[in-house]
Amino acid sequence: MKPSNMKPSNEAIVAALRQLVAYTKLEDGQSQSFRTRAYDKAIDAINAAPNDVADMSLSELKAIEGVGDSTARKIIEFVERGSISKIDRLKQRFPPTMLELMKIPGLGPKTVVALQDHLGVVDLAGLRRAIANEQLRTLPGLGKKSEEKIAHSIELLGIHSDETRTPIFDAMRIATRVVNDLSRCDAVSQIAYAGSLRRLSETIGDIDILTTTDDPETVLETFTSLAGVTTIMGSGDTKASIVIDDAIQVDLRVVSDAEFGAALLYFTGSKGHNIELRQRALGRGLTLNEYSLSQIDDGAVVAAATEESIYEALGLPWITPELREGIGELTIAEAGLLPKPVVPKMLRGDLHVHTDWSGDGRSTLDEMLQAVTDRGLEYVAITDHGEDLAMNGLSRERVREQQAAIDAARKRYPLLTVFHGAELNIGPDGTVDYDPEFLEVFEFTVASIHSHFDLDPDAQTARLIAAVENPAVNVIGHPSGRKIGARPAIRFDVEAVAEAAADAGTALEINSHLQRLDLSATNLRTVLGIEGLMFAISTDAHHTSELDNITWGTAQARKGGVPIERVVNSLPIREYMAWMAQKRGRSEG
């Protein structure tokens, strides 16, 4: 590869290190050598790094926990040359197609290397031929059954591979359905989803579900015969794996009630977090597995029923699942420096809500105000689209009509403060709908990007900063414009925008929709240090049911490490109004 002027992104560096892991597995002939585990840990650390790793010096890289001298040098080599010599060397020995073979479920490095050594098979076509010729069963350790299993796995290829991780929005829908369906089984006592879904990862490999029961057989049988099951990957006494809707693998694990906490902790992960917890346990004469935290010497159970009790026994506060990435959160937690997790009941208002006054809203103004009241909120901003969004937006005349409608509605909801707002549309040049005089009609606005997603980074940054500095704008809605799995984020300098926002008294939105989760957790961590920057956790609800998406917005705030003090819609109404007034006061002065 030729060196390029563009420095590689953290994602590109991680991709290179993942290649390194795969080739090293082949070289070591095992899936878990200490070397590959070390690389894996470095990958986790870089994934979590808020800044560009490509800009770092050797000593800065080595200062990252989990990155040592060897990996740091490989990263620098990749940044400077565009490739890593160890990978180049291993490619000579193992053709890249062998990496594809390792993605087939059931085929690990040992078997893939055996295929090359004994049969000269290095790619999928060769593997298919070998299976057709019944050659696989001649390999040491393999038999007829293994050959058939691998043949079946090839048909399922893709379901398990890295490229087909499912966006969290889709995975959550399936998980919710499976949890609901399985809950109807009388033998099920407790049930919860765990894994990367519970950690609020943006994309999900497998869905992990945990149940407690005293009748595992019935639960497992019910699980493998659920509606939508297209393949049963395996089933034992305590766990089973299925593929549902031909779309995603779902793993079920069954334990007893007394073991629920230990099992939930174990299956929530991440793997790195679990390893650090177990190491910590060992240091205290304890051992941790999916059943309990126990004494090593006599096996006496110390804690098992709840996650809280296990963390406590390890000298730690409970750590919110979204932060369990094995990237130093244990150290921060032990020092008492983790922010108190943001939860929905800490929020007093929702600052981004649509009604059927704009074309895409599906609930009436009254339905929304009633639903907001029912959820115990003290204030809400009705933010239907501005006129620039041709399909959905409100003309000036309609804005005036809505103002009257909201005035009338306020009498019906005396306990609720209703702001007549708008979701303005940020044009390619950073200007918004209407004109400055007319914008004074609104008591509050959120401004968002809905088009021109492919401008160059400088233009996008300037565009967002112009909106941030607009005196009529209070919040920037879904700042990156991404839709997970469907549309990439716009390219922009999030730090520059956030600094401008802090200066201007404009908040950045944490959009709660599972397709958005925008700002991303990575972006949040990047801008968290900017003094005075505030966030608004908003639902962007287009229907009353979507007000419950606040669950995900708060989870995203937790994942980004945002403390509640930085969330404007947690403020009591008077303080919140003072925050809004400060913006207008500042712009006039």
Partner DNA sequence: GCCGTTTTCGGCCCGACTGTTTTCAGTCG
In whole angstroms, what is the distance from residue 240 CA to residue 298 CA? 31
CB nearer to DNA: pick between 73 and 396: 73
Phi, psi for 240 (deg, rounded to 5): -150, 155
Positive or negative, the Cα torsion across 406, 412, 417, 423? negative
Minimum distance from residue 581 beta carbon to DNA (Å): 49
Nearest distance in Å: CB 166, DNA: 13
Q: Measured between alpha carbons, how far is 312 from 327 in angstroms, rounded to an integer?
A: 20
Strands 286-288 and 248-255: unpaired
Alpha helices in 82-207 (DSSP H): 85-93, 97-102, 109-114, 124-132, 144-155, 168-183, 195-198
Parallel, antiparallel, or unpaired for β 248-255 and 239-244? antiparallel
User: What minimum distance in Å lies between the beta carbon of 233 and DNA?
Assistant: 8
Nearer to DNA, 65 or 123 (CB): 65
The minimum distance between CB 318 and DNA, in angstroms, equals: 20
Nearer to DNA, 15 or 38 (CB): 38
Single-letter amino acid, residue 226: L
**Does residue 507 contact residue 534 with C-beta atoms inside 8 Å?**
yes
For residue 339, the minimal CB distance to DNA (Å) is: 24
Nearer to DNA, 107 or 533 (CB): 107
* Nearest distance, CB of residue 325 and DNA, angstroms: 15
What sign does the dihedral 567-573-577-578 (CA atoms) show? negative
- 157, 123 in Cβ contact below 8 A? no
Rounded to the nearest whole angstrom, what is the least distance from the CB of residue 317 to DNA in the complex? 19
Instruction: Work out the widest C-alpha separation in the chain, in whole angstroms.
Output: 83
Pick 97 or 587: Cβ nearer DNA: 97
Q: Are 18 and 43 in contact (CB under 8 A)?
A: yes
Shortest distance, position 18 Cβ to DNA, whole Å: 14
Comparison of 208 and 443: residue with beta carbon closer to DNA: 208
Name which of 144 and 487 has its Cβ closer to DNA: 144
Decide whether 71 or 383 has the Cβ nearer to DNA. Answer: 71
Could you give the CA distance from residue 171 to residue 168 in angstroms, rounded to a whole number?
A: 5
Phi, psi of 324, deg, nearest 5: -85, 70
Q: How far is the CB of 110 from DNA (least distance, A)?
A: 3
Residues near 397 by beta carbon (within 8 Å), at least 6 away in sequence: none
- If the CB atoms of residues 104 and 580 are measured against DNA, the closer one turns out to be 104
Of the candidates 224, 222, 243, 227, the one whose C-alpha atom is nearest the C-alpha of residue 177 is 227
Residue 199 amino acid letter: R
Distance CA 220, CA 546 (A): 33
CB of 244 to DNA, least distance (A): 14
SS3 assignment, position 169: helix
Q: What is the CA radius of gyration of the chain?
A: 27
Q: Which is nearer to DNA, 37 or 398 (CB)?
A: 37
Residues that bind DNA (CB under 7 A): 30-32, 34-35, 37-39, 41-42, 62, 65-72, 86, 102, 104-112, 137, 141-147, 149, 160, 195, 205-206, 208, 234-239, 249, 251, 271, 274-275, 278-279, 281-283, 287-290
Smallest CA-to-CA distance from 559 within 210, 168, 237, 163 is with 168
**Nearest-approach distance from CB 302 to DNA, in angstroms:** 13
- As measured in angstroms, the least distance from the Cβ of 514 to DNA is 21
Whose Cβ is closer to DNA: residue 62's or residue 398's?
62
Residues pairing with 244 in the sheet: 229, 248
Question: Shortest gap between Cβ of 556 and DNA (angstroms)?
Answer: 23
DSSP secondary structure of 440-490: TT-SEEEEE--S-TTS-HHHHHHHHHHHHH-TT--EEESTT--BTTTBPPP
**Helix 271-283 with 34-48: angle, nearest 10 deg:** 110
Report the alpha-carbon distance of residue 476 to residue 583 in Å, rounded. Answer: 14
Shortest gap between Cβ of 227 and DNA (angstroms)? 22
Nearer to DNA, 128 or 487 (CB): 128
Give whichever of 255 and 484 is closer to DNA, judged by the CB atom: 255
Task: Indicate the residue among 233 and 406 with the shorter CB distance to DNA.
Answer: 233
3-class DSSP assignment, residue 393: coil
SS3 7: coil
Q: Cα–Cα distances in Å, from 254 out to 172, 227, 257?
A: 20, 19, 10
The alpha carbon of residue 124 and the mean position of all alpha carbons in its chain are separated, in whole angstroms, by 32
